[in-house]
């Protein structure tokens, strides 16, 4: 049950981390640009204040997807699904999607390289990541979840 509670906390953080609806977009419009000016590419909004926590959470999800499979738990798909949920909630731009996916892939690939078989150390890392991921989820939910 402890693992399930942690997993739910990670999923809850992913769902609650999504920012609320944007403030009245279009309420104040800039005057039209004269035709002689070339249109500028839209700038990406700054990342949310909880971006470092989400990037670390993404990396942890990637590591858990690999390590839990290597250790025979058979729930790697659950961790991949958690990452998909996080990306659906948070990756509003291609740049953001790339950053989150990159963190997940980094976590997965780093541990894929280091652990080809389950070891006592792999179990210790899994426990550490479950704890850290739960704390990150709680932090993001409590500080930025709006509820």
Write down the domain spans for the chain: 49-147
pLDDT in tens, 70-128: 999 989 999 999 999 999 998 888 999 999 999 999 999 999 999 999 999 999 999 99
- Residue 89, φ and ψ in degrees, nearest 5: -80, -30
pTM: 0.72
User: Distances from the Cα of 123 to the Cαs of 45, 79, 92, 127, in angstroms?
Assistant: 39, 16, 34, 6
């Amino acid at each position: 049950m402890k693992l399930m509670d942690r997993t739910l906390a990670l999923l809850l953080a992913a769902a609650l981390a999504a920012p609320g609806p944007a403030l009245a977009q279009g309420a104040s419009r800039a005057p039209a640009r004269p035709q002689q000016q070339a249109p500028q590419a839209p700038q990406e909004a700054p990342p949310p204040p909880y971006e470092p926590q989400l990037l670390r959470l993404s990396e942890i999800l990637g590591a858990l997807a690999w390590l839990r499979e290597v250790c025979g738990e058979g729930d790697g798909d659950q961790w991949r699904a958690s990452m998909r949920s996080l990306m659906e909630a948070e990756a509003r731009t291609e740049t953001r999607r790339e950053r989150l996916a990159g963190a997940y892939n980094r976590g997965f690939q780093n541990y894929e390289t280091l652990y080809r078989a389950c070891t006592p150390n792999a179990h210790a890392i899994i426990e550490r990541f479950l704890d850290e991921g739960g704390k990150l989820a709680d932090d993001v939910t409590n500080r930025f979840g709006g509820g």
